[in-house]
Amino acid sequence: MTIKVKNPIVEMDGDEMARIMWTMIKEKLLFPFLDLNLKYFDLGIKHRDDTEDRVTVEAAHAIKEIGVGVKCATITPNADRVKEYGLKKQWQSPNGTIRSLLDGTVFRKPIILKNIPPAIRNWKQPIHIGRHAYGDLYKSVEHVVGPGTAEIVFTPREGTDPVRIKIHDFEGSGVVMGIHNTEASIRSFAKACINYALFEKIDIWFATKDTISKKYQGFFRDIFAEEINNRMADIENSGLSYRYLLIDDAVAQVIKSRGGMLWACTNYDGDLMSDMVAAGFGSLGLMTSVLVSPDGKYEFEAAHGTVMRHYYEHCKGNPTSTNSMASIFAWTGAIAKRGELDGSPEVTQFARTLEEAVINTAEKGVLTKDLMLIAEPKVDKYALTEEFLDCVAENLRLSLAA
């Protein structure tokens, strides 16, 4: 007897070791138990190249239409990859393409295991990171200059004369950068953070450096505060709170905290802090990620990449011990969300049961190498990629039978 999932899920296949695990997850943990209707897009690098990357855009549109997607890690080609795979060009990052089409915010949350103590002793609950994924350093223009004057010039579309602001009079050589952000993007970031925190029932922290950058970072603080005020009744009725901090204070407070909050980060802060938090909780293989659009579309994935080094070993015929937990949780996130949107509690329940089977397997000491090295109590042997998944499947069968 399989459980029927009413509406489709957009599936985006990927590359290398992540793709190998992806297939195993479907065959061992999903297809035997669920009657799934998958709208499949092959985002593997060859197929992106063959379709001039149209497949990525089609997949993003399918998520917009269907509401729920799940994505395997994919190669973002650089010059080496173009050579390695004989590509026509360095295609854009698929995640970047999908993010900009959905106008989404990325949230990351680590999986917590009893036998994997975090690097920070007092972290008891996951620290969720919400990263504003538009603008600032990531849409900057830069210029190396000689002696001379650098200015910012703003030309209004109509009316008044251009505004000129001097950046610096250079006596020798130096470098300048121009960055920007938009009110609309900051507002949708704040809205997505509030929706996410209400859904996860966690407090919201937001931090900038507005003491130094009174206008730029102050703009973020003010817009974020306005959106919070618009939803204050919901936040308070859920027993949650909002806390604004200076970014340097936030870093210290997060380290001293028990966790259990959404840390809303500007683009650059989120880039750094999500890697720090992932490492602090044990492994990239434990970090889950979801892209949430302002109109409530969801794309789930693991935060890690294609685990290329393990794939090269796999291609040589060597056994690998790659952690599939975050990829499994990408699937359970998508399946649980589908069940919720479809009003199918048995589907959501299946996803939760699978998550418990994963956690029980790991907590019994069946661990891939990345976790075995940091487990407490120690385990003396690590599980291979496929062995771990077989143990999860066995535990899942037992829980479903009970």
Site for ligand NAP in 101-130 (CB under 6 A): none
Does 89 help bind ligand NAP (rule: CB under 6 A)?
no
Distance CA 259, CA 169 (A): 46
Does 279 help bind ligand NAP (rule: CB under 6 A)?
no
How many chain residues bind Mg ion (CB under 5 A)? Answer: 2
Identity of the residue, 181 or 324, whose beta carbon is nearer to ligand NAP in the bound complex:
324
Distance CA 111, CA 340 (A): 21
Secondary structure, 3-state, 309-364: HHHHHHHCCCCCCCCCHHHHHHHHHHHHHHHHHHCCHHHHHHHHHHHHHHHHHHHC
Minimum Å gap between C-beta 261 and Mg ion is 20
Query: Greatest CA separation found in the chain?
Result: 77
Does 271 help bind Mg ion (rule: CB under 5 A)?
yes
The DSSP code for 382 is P
Identity of the residue, 185 or 267, whose beta carbon is nearer to Mg ion in the bound complex:
267
Does 74 help bind ligand NAP (rule: CB under 6 A)?
yes
Residue with tokens 């030309």: 155
Identity of the residue, 74 or 288, whose beta carbon is nearer to ligand NAP in the bound complex:
74
Minimum Å gap between C-beta 289 and ligand NAP is 7
Identity of the residue, 175 or 315, whose beta carbon is nearer to ligand NAP in the bound complex:
315
Gyration radius of the chain over CA positions: 23
Of 91, 99, 98, 84, the C-alpha closest to 48 is 91
Name the segment binding ligand NAP (CB under 6 A); options: 146-154, 207-215, 269-277, 307-315.
307-315
Helices (H) and strands (E) in the chain, counts: 15, 16
Minimum Å gap between C-beta 212 and Mg ion is 23
**Binding residue (CB under 6 A) for ligand NAP from 305, 340, 342, 374:** 305
Site for ligand NAP in 322-381 (CB under 6 A): 322-323, 370
Distance CA 284, CA 334 (A): 20
Minimum Å gap between C-beta 271 and Mg ion is 4
Distance CA 272, CA 277 (A): 9
Side chain identity at 135, as an amino acid letter? G
Which phi and psi angles does 164 have, rounded to 5°?
-115, 130
Q: What angle do CA 48, 51, 54 make, to 5 degrees?
A: 80
Cβ–Cβ under 8 Å, residues 366 and 388: yes
**Binding residue (CB under 6 A) for ligand NAP from 309, 352, 364, 378:** 309
Does 276 help bind Mg ion (rule: CB under 5 A)?
no
Does 274 help bind ligand NAP (rule: CB under 6 A)?
no
**Binding residue (CB under 6 A) for ligand NAP from 202, 273, 278, 284:** 284
Cβ–Cβ under 8 Å, residues 248 and 273: no
271 binds, among ligand NAP, Mg ion, none (CB under 5 to 8 A by kind): Mg ion
Identity of the residue, 128 or 297, whose beta carbon is nearer to Mg ion in the bound complex:
128
Name the segment binding ligand NAP (CB under 6 A); options: 70-78, 101-109, 250-258, 342-350.
70-78
Which phi and psi angles does 316 have, rounded to 5°?
-80, 0
Cβ–Cβ under 8 Å, residues 389 and 32: no
State the first-to-last Cα distance of the chain, in angstroms, to the nearest integer.
Answer: 15
Strand pairing class (34-35; 68-71): unpaired
308 binds, among Mg ion, ligand NAP, none (CB under 5 to 8 A by kind): ligand NAP
Name the segment binding ligand NAP (CB under 6 A); options: 74-82, 251-259, 357-365, 394-402.
74-82
Minimum Å gap between C-beta 92 and Mg ion is 17
Nearest residue (beta carbon) to Mg ion: 271
Name the segment binding ligand NAP (CB under 6 A); options: 143-151, 301-309, 356-364, 393-401.
301-309
Does 277 help bind ligand NAP (rule: CB under 6 A)?
no
Which phi and psi angles does 192 have, rounded to 5°?
-60, -40
Name the segment binding Mg ion (CB under 5 A); options: 49-57, 269-277, 298-306, 307-315.
269-277
Does 92 help bind ligand NAP (rule: CB under 6 A)?
no
Does 83 help bind ligand NAP (rule: CB under 6 A)?
no
Distance CA 95, CA 73 (A): 9
Binding residues vs ligand NAP (CB under 6 A): 73-76, 95, 284-285, 301, 304-309, 322-323, 370
